[in-house]
Structure 1
Amino acid sequence: MRHDLDRPVHSEIRKLYGSDAIAEMMRRLGTPYVALNPGSSFRGLHDSIVNYLGNRDPQMLLCLHEEHAVAIAHGWAKVTGKPLSVILHANVGLMHASMAIYNAWCDRVPMVIYGATGPVDAAKRRPWIDWIHTSRDQAALIRPYVKWDDQPASLAASLTSMLRASVISETSPKAPTYVCFDVSVQEEPIDEMPVLPDPAQHAAPRMPEFSEADAGAVHQRLARAEKPVFLMGRVSRDQADWDRRVALAEHFGARVVTDIKTGAAFPTRHPLHVGSPSYFVSPDANRAIAEADVVVCFDWVDPGGTLRQAGATLDRTQIVNITLDQLLANGWSLDHMSFTPSELSIIADPDDAIRAICAAAGLPEAAAGRMDIHATEYPAHRADALISIDSLADTLGAALVHEHASLLRLTLSWNGSKCDFRGPLDYLGYDGGAGIGSGPGMAVGSALALRGVERLPVAVLGDGDFLMGATAIWTAAHHEIPMIVVVANNRSYFNDEVHQERVAKDRDRPVENKHVGQAISEPDIDIAAIAEAQGATAFGPVWDIGSLRDTLQQAIEAAKSGRTVVVDVRVEPGYSDDMAEGMTNN
């Protein structure tokens, strides 16, 4: 990213306003960027970021849609575990962003979202526009899926709420928070900079230590187990935590199940990894769970559903559930999933728990995995062959074999058996709420967070996902964020074709009609042109394996030279049998 990018001319500050104090508080909270789409409800704060702060610390990430702003903060948090700031314009911007906020809630990532409203005092409202951009309780739009919200009525209260929102968002279990500023508070002149709340004096609360008694209880069960299974879910991107997971599994000979909804949690080519990571548990993993005498869930998404699918019950399997999820359960959002049977349920961070269980087992603090993990061999495909999702995976894997790549996202059609995850940043997971359109923005945010980490950011997105969020690419190109987006373009909302096929078969109706209202064709959409129009380096459409090999090499070189790259790959429609069954099974 160029150092002089979006650097404003120097401004001589002669008079202070409430928004200057709000901007200074944002700086003190340590966020390096603020993602936004401009709006008049925060015009005062916008001016303060530009002219009082000089558009640095935080620097604006201009987005072309509010949903992209939240998605970028989401992608950032998936890498760093830290909140990025977002500003949304009034009720209309909040409504635009609501799906992305729900994704972040379901994915348990932190972010601090700032909103703004027209004057709360009706006498100060401009005709027409301030009325339709003012809501009596703006946060009611998203309250079921944010951790905390506030609409402070004074500058002092606004500054305190900003700090509280940051602390609450960073406190486990992490989730978005929302603070809505009155435009009048922003634009009110102030005589001097007020005393700002000190973040150093308000540290985020620590979770209670995973007790020796709890660690001993889990260790005791594992020590007696003959067929233990670990379900590794939402865990950290920290290498030491990764090493402890591997060491613990090896110590007890535990089979490990991972999924593709969450980030890489365990090496997928390790002998103890069972099945393949997928959106729905694979048959091999189901069998291992069904045969287990002890199952330990480490913040697994929907453990109750997984155990029921595998047929695991408490009468023959000891089930331990370690999670923080119960602390966010509410009556509106059902992302708490089905009620989980367990013999022992512990509210704790999963990596803290694993650290304590390792200690109870006598494993050294620096313990790392010992078993050999063989290199993946990628099958070669004929150069003139059309591209399937599996041959795309093979060809992309072969192209990246000598690169230190991070897979930022994978499509719903991805075959988990093609995954080779060897470290915590190898794959960052899905979007939490399974909403379409989040992929481009999240990829931009993750790629931004990976700058300087010696990683090549690569996202594989579906065409529907890309097209809904395509203008997020402009933000990446503008800020010179190196990354590769491979669009697995099957010219259809194919997930719903699978559902329509299921319905047609159930009702004895023509399967041939499943594409109606689903196919993205006639006219064909030039995805490369859309990307190139926004300043990205674009390739495609790519139709065969030989062209794909050559194009991926060009894309890698372009990204390594600092470019934002989009590749339109035309893939044949299709899902793996496991995915198709999981998506449509009643």
Structure 2
Amino acid sequence: MFENAARPKTGGEALLTALKDCGIDYLFANAGTDFPPIIEGLARLPESAVPTPVTVPHETAAVAMAHGCWLVTGQPQAVMVHVNVGLANAVMGVINAASDNVPVFMLSGRTPLTETGRKGGRMTPIQYGQEMYDQTSLVRDVVKFDYELRYPEQADSVTKRAAALMTSAPEGPVYMSLPKEPLTEPLPDGFAAAGAPVSARPTVPETEAIATLASWIAEAQSPVVLCQRGDPKGRVSNALSRCADVFGLAVAEPFSIRNVLASTDPSLIGYNPKAATAGADLVIVLDSGVPWIEAVSAPERDIRVVHIGPDPLFRRMPVRGYRTDLAITADPAVALESLLKMTPDAGASARRNRVRAWAMDSRNAVQKHDAGGDGPMSAEWMSACVSDIMDDGAVAFSELGLLLPHMTVKGPNRVFSNVHAGGLGWAMPAALGAQLADRDRLVIACMGDGSYMFANPVACHQIAEALNLPILTIIKNNAMWNAVRRSVVKGYPDGAAVRQNRVPLTSLEPLPDFTQVARASRAHAERIERGADLPDALRRAVEIIRTERRQVLLDLSVAASDDH
């Protein structure tokens, strides 16, 4: 029951207290004229009864901050934006969250339903111009649940139902549309809040399925696990490392989204799907939507393939033709723990020795890069140098930036890479969300120059200063859309575009002075032209972050590559 001071009186206040009851600590918000009942509720109710409001001056940044906060805490957060125009700006972030099964509670206002006669009705011209027949259609294809609030008391019950669905496996974003009238209207007499939401977790895998998997491992000479993400708490990493050791499994992390194993794990053979499956006779796909590219790196046709995950067939993907000989629906960590209860076969020791030698050879085969000369540095050198400044708690958000094979990461969830949805501008605001969740952690955002511009950097630097979030932003600057250029080179290696001095639609020159953008928000900013100068610049950056609690931007001259 509510204490009197915390008792909600309106639909808007019931929404706020329900979000808090659901364990949501932050409401990332970009406010509009539909927000008065929310703002009034934040002012009237005790701070302990509502999420902490966080003002974010761009909607895409707000969603990415919620995304980044979840990656380092496992706690979902809420985002509220202004009617259809705010939701339109937020859509890309919702797509990113859906692609990576990240629970974000998405809220937006909705044009008042009524013209006269009700409190909260229309009072401005834009409330006519912003109305849509189906505002929810902007996000319906990528959310697990959507609803338009009709009555004030639903702000409690429907919010808690949405939160339960959001955090049920497989997790993902949900959306509620909020007309102003039910937010403004008083709650009915006798209103009682619903209980806290209960999530539905994946069932324990069938014993028969785990037994089948164990027998297939026993029959294999070279079983390989492909994984590209774990959970925020590191349960998958711990179970996978132990499973790989006990059963002699090689592990590869192709197209990594959240690194799963430490770089020095004796089972980690690298990040290339083709190399990993080339000699395999059993492939275990662990909660990976894109384990390989079917056209160029699919395993041989006679190899067994097992998929494990809360949704092992990835129902949200319309086209996904990976063959499946066994699908196990389960939390990946629970499935691995179940496998560990099985007795390892007689061949496990020999497989383990081969895997350890393979992993060592793979690490030794990674080309070492030095600082280079006076020209642009390599992305390999940049990645190694960034790795060197990362302590045990540091995390890096990489968007077409860091290269995992050239880093030494100390555990799971140290490097978060852009999700496969491809909504750019994610890394910097996601890093801000992670920094908000843990202000003492070293948080790095490393991205290409184009991705930095997509991040709405003026807004992001303002957020960093306003909220005292001293992240380190690193720009991999090659003055082009290099991913687009590489695609053209691979698609038309002898084509007319490649023969030109500059591939059309790829150049970003003349670039603005990114350091000046950062300095507008009092950041420490440097332009680094030579690779030899990068280690000292990174050490300076960490010192400024630690002692001055000030954000830092490093703009690096990095050579374009045909490989990454």
Tell me which stretches of 4 or more aligned residues in structure 1 moved more than 6 Å.
Answer: 12-15, 369-378
Q: Cα offset for 1:379?
A: 5.2
Q: Indicate yes or no: 2:402 matched with 1:381.
A: no
**Of the candidates 320, 324, 327, which is equivalent to residue 345 of structure 1?**
327
Q: Secondary structure at the match of 1:235?
A: coil
Give the alignment's TM-score, normalised by structure 1: 0.85
| Contact 1:487–1:566 (CA under 8 A) maintained in structure 2 | no
| Contact 1:413–1:576 (CA under 8 A) maintained in structure 2 | no
Q: Indicate yes or no: 2:232 matched with 1:242.
A: no
| Contact 1:41–1:117 (CA under 8 A) maintained in structure 2 | yes
Q: Indicate yes or no: 2:83 matched with 1:103.
A: no
Alignment of 1:228-377 (within 5 A): 228-275=223-270, 277=271, 282=272, 285-303=273-291, 305-306=292-293, 309-314=296-301, 316-325=302-311, 329-330=315-316, 335=317, 337-361=319-343
Structure 2: how far apart are the matches of 1:69 and 1:156?
A: 27
Q: Secondary structure at the match of 2:169?
A: coil
**Of the candidates 129, 133, 138, which is equivalent to residue 130 of structure 2?**
133
The aligned residue for residue 224 of structure 1 is 219
The aligned residue for residue 4 of structure 1 is none
Structure 1: how far apart are the matches of 2:64 and 2:450?
A: 16
Alignment of 1:448-467 (within 5 A): 448-451=436-439, 455-467=441-453
**Of the candidates 535, 544, 569, which is equivalent to residue 555 of structure 2?**
569
Which amino acid in structure 2 is aligned with residue 558 of structure 1?
I
Q: Cα offset for 1:300?
A: 1.4
Higher mean C-alpha deviation, range 285-294 or range 15-24: 15-24
Q: Indicate yes or no: 2:63 matched with 1:70.
A: yes
Structure 1: how far apart are the matches of 2:460 and 2:61?
A: 6
Structure 2: how far apart are the matches of 1:506 and 1:380?
A: 32
String of CA shifts for 1:492-532, please: whole Å, max 9, x gaps.
Answer: 2221222344466443455334344332223x312122122
Q: Cα offset for 1:240?
A: 4.5
Q: Cα offset for 1:53?
A: 3.8
Structure 2: how far apart are the matches of 1:190 and 1:169?
A: 25
**Of the candidates 474, 479, 486, which is equivalent to residue 486 of structure 1?**
474
**Of the candidates 204, 207, 211, which is equivalent to residue 212 of structure 1?**
207
Aligned residues: 541
String of CA shifts for 1:43-81, please: whole Å, max 9, x gaps.
Answer: 211221233244974111211111111111111122222
Which amino acid in structure 1 is aligned with residue 549 of structure 2?
R
Which amino acid in structure 2 is aligned with residue 187 of structure 1?
T
Structure 2: how far apart are the matches of 1:15 and 1:217?
A: 54
Q: Indicate yes or no: 2:521 matched with 1:534.
A: yes
Q: Cα offset for 1:231?
A: 0.7
Which amino acid in structure 1 is aligned with residue 506 of structure 2?
Q
Structure 2: how far apart are the matches of 1:490 and 1:514?
A: 13
Higher mean C-alpha deviation, range 80-89 or range 51-60: 51-60
The aligned residue for residue 446 of structure 1 is 434
Q: Cα offset for 1:98?
A: 0.6
Q: Cα offset for 1:562?
A: 6.2
Q: Cα offset for 1:104?
A: 0.5
Using a 3 Å threshold, how does the CA distance of structure 1 residues 559 and 571 change in structure 2: closer, same or farther? same
Give the alignment's TM-score, normalised by structure 2: 0.88
String of CA shifts for 1:347-380, please: whole Å, max 9, x gaps.
Answer: 22211111111112379xxxxx997999999754
Structure 2: how far apart are the matches of 1:361 and 1:300?
A: 26
Which amino acid in structure 2 is aligned with residue 492 of structure 1?
M
Q: Cα offset for 1:115?
A: 1.5
Higher mean C-alpha deviation, range 318-327 or range 375-384: 375-384
| Contact 2:431–2:445 (CA under 8 A) maintained in structure 1 | yes
Using a 3 Å threshold, how does the CA distance of structure 1 residues 542 and 105 change in structure 2: closer, same or farther? same
| Contact 2:449–2:475 (CA under 8 A) maintained in structure 1 | yes
String of CA shifts for 1:287-323, please: whole Å, max 9, x gaps.
Answer: 33132111111111224x5465334244x21111112
**Of the candidates 26, 37, 41, which is equivalent to residue 19 of structure 2?**
26
| Contact 1:404–1:456 (CA under 8 A) maintained in structure 2 | no
Using a 3 Å threshold, how does the CA distance of structure 1 residues 193 and 43 change in structure 2: closer, same or farther? farther
Structure 2: how far apart are the matches of 1:97 and 1:480?
A: 24
Using a 3 Å threshold, how does the CA distance of structure 1 residues 541 and 205 change in structure 2: closer, same or farther? same
Give structure 2 stretches of 5+ with no counterpart: 346-351
Using a 3 Å threshold, how does the CA distance of structure 1 residues 58 and 405 change in structure 2: closer, same or farther? same
Structure 1: how far apart are the matches of 2:8 and 2:409?
A: 54
The aligned residue for residue 414 of structure 2 is 426
The aligned residue for residue 9 of structure 1 is none
Q: What is the CA RMSD across the aligned residues, in angstroms? A: 2.9
Using a 3 Å threshold, how does the CA distance of structure 1 residues 463 and 15 change in structure 2: closer, same or farther? closer
Q: Secondary structure at the match of 2:415?
A: coil
| Contact 1:414–1:575 (CA under 8 A) maintained in structure 2 | no
String of CA shifts for 1:179-230, please: whole Å, max 9, x gaps.
Answer: 111201111244768311110xx31112211122222111111122111010
Alignment of 1:393-432 (within 5 A): 393-400=383-390, 403-412=391-400, 414-432=402-420
Q: Secondary structure at the match of 1:95?
A: helix
Which amino acid in structure 1 is aligned with residue 524 of structure 2?
A
Structure 2: how far apart are the matches of 1:248 and 1:190?
A: 53
String of CA shifts for 1:142-179, please: whole Å, max 9, x gaps.
Answer: 10000100012001222211001111110010100001
Q: Cα offset for 1:548?
A: 2.0
Structure 1: how far apart are the matches of 2:481 and 2:190?
A: 53
String of CA shifts for 1:418-453, please: whole Å, max 9, x gaps.
Answer: 03233113222323411211221111112223345x
Structure 2: how far apart are the matches of 1:357 and 1:326?
A: 17
| Contact 1:264–1:424 (CA under 8 A) maintained in structure 2 | yes
Which amino acid in structure 2 is aligned with residue 421 of structure 1?
V
Q: Cα offset for 1:127?
A: 4.9
Using a 3 Å threshold, how does the CA distance of structure 1 residues 489 and 254 change in structure 2: closer, same or farther? same
Structure 1: how far apart are the matches of 2:344 and 2:498?
A: 62
| Contact 2:152–2:186 (CA under 8 A) maintained in structure 1 | no
Which amino acid in structure 2 is aligned with residue 571 of structure 1?
S
Q: Indicate yes or no: 2:80 matched with 1:82.
A: no
String of CA shifts for 1:12-54, please: whole Å, max 9, x gaps.
Answer: 9999433222222222222111111111122211221233244
Identity of aligned residues (%): 21
Structure 1: how far apart are the matches of 2:132 and 2:245?
A: 56
**Of the candidates 169, 173, 183, which is equivalent to residue 172 of structure 1?**
169
The aligned residue for residue 114 of structure 1 is 107
**Of the candidates 541, 545, 566, which is equivalent to residue 531 of structure 2?**
545
The aligned residue for residue 390 of structure 1 is 380
The aligned residue for residue 557 of structure 1 is 543
Using a 3 Å threshold, how does the CA distance of structure 1 residues 494 and 233 change in structure 2: closer, same or farther? closer
Q: Secondary structure at the match of 1:320?
A: strand
Which amino acid in structure 2 is aligned with residue 110 of structure 1?
P
| Contact 2:289–2:314 (CA under 8 A) maintained in structure 1 | no
Using a 3 Å threshold, how does the CA distance of structure 1 residues 97 and 424 change in structure 2: closer, same or farther? same
Which amino acid in structure 2 is aligned with residue 573 of structure 1?
A
| Contact 1:173–1:328 (CA under 8 A) maintained in structure 2 | no
Using a 3 Å threshold, how does the CA distance of structure 1 residues 573 and 547 change in structure 2: closer, same or farther? closer
Q: Secondary structure at the match of 2:284?
A: strand
Which amino acid in structure 2 is aligned with residue 242 of structure 1?
S
Q: Cα offset for 1:384?
A: 4.8
Using a 3 Å threshold, how does the CA distance of structure 1 residues 510 and 458 change in structure 2: closer, same or farther? closer
String of CA shifts for 1:96-122, please: whole Å, max 9, x gaps.
Answer: 111111011001111111122122234
Using a 3 Å threshold, how does the CA distance of structure 1 residues 20 and 238 change in structure 2: closer, same or farther? closer
| Contact 1:228–1:292 (CA under 8 A) maintained in structure 2 | yes
String of CA shifts for 1:76-98, please: whole Å, max 9, x gaps.
Answer: 12222221011011111111111
